[in-house]
A and B are shown apart, each in its own frame.
Chain A
Amino acid sequence: MRLQRLAETDRPALSFMLDGAPAAALEGDTLLTAILAQDGHLRASEFGDGLRAGFCLMGACQDCWVNVEGLGRVRACTTEITEGLRVSRRMVQP
């Protein structure tokens, strides 16, 4: 699964770091959109049952946590991406 951009694709591009590798996004993307538009997961379940990619997209389920350098753990669905953000999908501790 990758999110499919169907509209609003003429926004300015920006770059960020995803797990140490350069990645591209668009201004106004949430972290969730920016990540899932290129690679279909956000985190691994702490209980060993596999990868997760969020669920509710409205800040309720808390299943889209990622690490951002300087910010710590954030909800990807309610955090806007900004230029140069360094995002890590390594195990996020509760």
Chain B
Amino acid sequence: MSVVIVGAGPAGTRAAEVLAGAGLRPIVIDEAPDSGGRIYQRQPAGFHRTARDLYGFEAAKAQAVHDVFDHLRPSIDFRPRTLAWNLRSGVIDTICDGKASAVPFEQTILCTGAMDRVIPLPGWTLPGVFTLGGSQISLKAQGCAIGARVAFLGTGPLLYLVAYQYARAGAQVVAVLDTTPFATKARQAFGLMRGRATFAKGLYYIARLRAHGIPIAEGVTPLMIAGSGRVESLSWHDARGARHEAAVDAVALGWGLKPEAQLADLAGVPFDFDSVQHNWVPRQDATGRTSVEGVFLAGDGSGIRGADLAEAAGARAAWAVLAARGLAVDTHAVARLDATLAAGATFRAALERAFPFPAKLAADMADDTILCRCEAITAGEVRAAANEASATLPPPEVNRAKALTRVGMGRCQGRVCGAAAAEVLASMLSCPVEQVGRLRGQPPVKPIPILPAEAA
């Protein structure tokens, strides 16, 4: 029976390479029309910017991942435009162009990637507000800026990278607003030095932004995005508490990334709260193996480690699959991967500490701020429900809050609001955020058409 890889980004590509190298023919499923994942997303046919234009310093890596995948095509069963919407015992349910299919597997490597972690603020549902990742995709895959005057808000390496990419492409970047104070980053300088090249690139982006005359503020507190039917301004407090306002027509925001781990959840993989990442992460050993028979994890969907380590983890998990199948394992290759993964972990932890998730910003969100954008549920509604429930019932957790208020019950299934909703709830209950739990995954992991299935 087959090995099924879900996700054709850096992790899935390297996993497929190892499996094909061992003579297997893995099935590779991806929702996108082509391989590359989000980080190395390819532009559509008919676009002709160079890899250097698209991926900057990462051009060689992106090109290598694409080349590997292109060479693999004859030796794998690649299923693009295919959503893996459920995972049950030994079977992944998929849908492609409206056609459903149950794909059995003996082993699966879930390389399902990540998305932006978001903190709602007043006005964040206005047209013109996008995630940092989305803003990057607009530029990379469509050649478009999200607006004529764009502000970048949040924290993390992506904040500076996307702002830099916009400025370089000729967009007007009005301001880069980082909620993390300079001192927090400075404390991690030693650990960050371990990722020399990545650290140097970060400094380069900041230097280029400053050279473009773009204001960069650290330690800011965002106040609101305002406008009538569209974004017209963004206001914030600087580190000293002085109020600022900028006229903008678009805002890109994001506070780091969170794993897209819904399939691991449906598989029954246990999750742990990683206090450094401030994320719920599916549990796996150093090889990517989980406690669920046949289920392996790699890439940012297994915990945020970035694209380079995703490549290593994808290959490592594939070796673990080969071992599970009783096939030969190249111990030298495995030792190299293990060393890469171990070395990268230290830098990654420093990076997370340098750009911490500002949990208080989420916890303190105003009562009338929309928390869940799918169902337009405010933070106040969640607080009221928590208050009411705690009088009569055991202390609520996020799934209970979902039942009471519908927060996280919308069509994104809490992907967007889940992290912030947990902070609001934990703050109400004066408990650590991990105590309110996490929203359980439900199939289908994304909306699919409900139509009578045609006989196969």
Q: Which residues of A contact B (CB under 8 A)?
A: 1-9, 11-12, 27-30, 33, 36-37, 40-42, 45, 47-63, 72, 77-78, 80, 94
CB distance from B132 to the nearest CB of A (A): 10
Compute how far the CA of A63 lies from the CA of B131 in the bound complex, rounded to whole angstroms: 12
B364 to chain A, nearest CB (A): 21
Do A6 and B146 touch (CB < 8 A)? no
Q: Given the complex, which residues of A lie within 8 Å of B376, measured CB to CB? A: 45, 47-49
A8: B residues at CB distance < 8 A:
43, 47-49, 142-143
Q: Which residue of A lies closest to B144 (CB)?
A: A3
Kindly list chain A residues whose C-beta atoms are within 8 Å of the C-beta of B135: 57
Partner of A56, one of B115, B125, B142, B249: B115
Residues on A with C-beta less than 8 A from B115 are 56, 58, 60
- What 1/0 mask marks residues of chain B from 101 to 143 whose CB sits below 8 Å from any chain A CB? 0000000000000011000000001111111011101110111
Partner of B143, one of A5, A52, A80: A5
Inter-chain contact A57/B137, CB cutoff 8 Å? yes
The chain A residue with its CB closest to the CB of B146 is A3
Asked whether A4 lies within 8 Å of B131 as measured between CB atoms, the reply is no
Q: Give chain A residues whose Cβ lies under 8 Å from the Cβ of B133.
A: 56-58
B230 contacts A6, C-beta separation under 8 Å:
no
A55 near B171 (CB under 8 angstroms)?
Answer: no
How many whole Å from A69's CB to the nearest CB in chain B?
16
Q: How far is the CB of B375 from chain A (nearest CB, A)?
A: 7
Question: B: which residues have CB within 8 A of A?
Answer: 31-33, 38, 43-49, 53, 115-116, 125-131, 133-135, 137-139, 141-148, 169-171, 229-231, 249-250, 260, 370, 373-376, 410-412, 415-416, 446-447, 449
Task: Please indicate the chain A residues that have their CB under 8 angstroms from the CB of B446 in the complex.
Answer: 59-60, 62
- B47 to A56, Cβ gap below 8 A? no
Q: Are A57 and B134 in contact (CB-based, < 8 A)?
A: yes
Report how far A30 CA is from B115 CA in the complex, Å.
20
B395 to chain A, nearest CB (A): 28
The answer to whether A6 and B412 have CB atoms under 8 Å apart is: no
Listed by A's residue number, 13 A-B pairs whose Cβ atoms lie within 8 Å are A3-B144, A8-B143, A33-B144, A37-B144, A47-B376, A51-B230, A52-B127, A55-B373, A56-B130, A56-B134, A58-B134, A77-B134, A94-B411
Please judge, given known A-B contacts A4-B171, A72-B449, whether A41 and B412 are in contact too, CB under 8 Å: no
Q: How far is the CB of A8 from chain B (nearest CB, A)?
A: 4
Known A-B contacts A51-B229, A58-B115, A72-B449; the reply to A1 vs B249 at CB < 8 A is yes
Contacts of A3 in B (CB 8 A): 138, 142, 144-147
Please indicate the chain B residues that have their CB under 8 angstroms from the CB of A60 in the complex. 115, 260, 412, 415-416, 446
- Contact A29 B142, CB 8 Å, known A56-B130, A63-B373: yes
Q: Are the CB atoms of A1 and B146 closer together than 8 Å?
A: yes
CA distance A12 to B43 in the complex (A): 16
| Cross-chain contact B127 with A51 (CB below 8 angstroms) | yes
Q: B47 to chain A: which residues have CB within 8 Å?
A: 8, 11, 28
Q: A63, B412: Cβ atoms under 8 Å? A: yes
Q: Judging by beta carbons under 8 Å apart, are A9 and B125 in contact? A: no
Smallest beta-carbon distance B296→chain A, Å: 23
B169 to A55, Cβ gap below 8 A?
no
Evaluate contact between A61 and B138: CB separation under 8 angstroms: no
- Inter-chain contact A41/B131, CB cutoff 8 Å: no
Give Cα distance in the complex from A42 to B142, angstroms: 17
Q: Do B134 and A54 touch (CB < 8 A)?
A: yes
* B131 x A55 contact (CB < 8 A): yes
Given contacts A4-B148, A6-B145, A62-B412, contact A55 B45 (CB under 8 A): no
Query: Which residues of the other chain, A, contact B127 by a CB distance below 8 angstroms?
Result: 1, 36, 40-42, 51-53
Kindly report which residue of chain A lies nearest to residue B169, judged by CB atoms.
Answer: A6
**Among the interface residues B49, B137, B142, B250, which one has the most CB atoms of the partner chain A within 10 A?**
B142
Give the residues in chain B near A62, CB-CB below 8 Å.
374, 410-412, 446-447
Q: Residue on A with the closest CB to B150?
A: A4
Within the complex, which residue of B46, B130, B373, B449 is in contact with A57, where a contact is CB–CB below 8 Å? B130
The answer, among B142, B250, B410, for a CB contact under 8 Å with A1, is B250
Complex interface: chain A residues within 8 A of B170 (CB): 6
Residues on A with C-beta less than 8 A from B130 are 54-57
| Chain A residues whose C-beta falls within 8 Å of the C-beta of B134 in the assembled complex | 54-58, 77
Q: Quick one: which of A1, A58, A61 has the most chain B CB within 10 A?
A: A1
Give Cα A30 to B33, complex, Å: 12
Chain A positions within 8 Å of B415 at CB level: 60-61
* A55 engages B147 (CB within 8 Å): no
Q: Can you name 11 extra interface pairs (CB under 8 A) apart from A59-B31, A62-B374, A62-B447? A: A4-B145, A5-B144, A8-B48, A33-B138, A40-B127, A50-B126, A55-B130, A57-B138, A58-B134, A63-B374, A78-B31
Smallest CB separation, B394 vs chain A (Å): 30
Chain A residues near B43: list those with CB within 8 A.
Answer: 8, 28
Do A30 and B142 touch (CB < 8 A)? yes
Are A1 and B169 closer than 8 Å at their CB atoms? no
Closest to B46 in A: A28
Q: Are B374 and A9 in contact (CB under 8 A)?
A: no
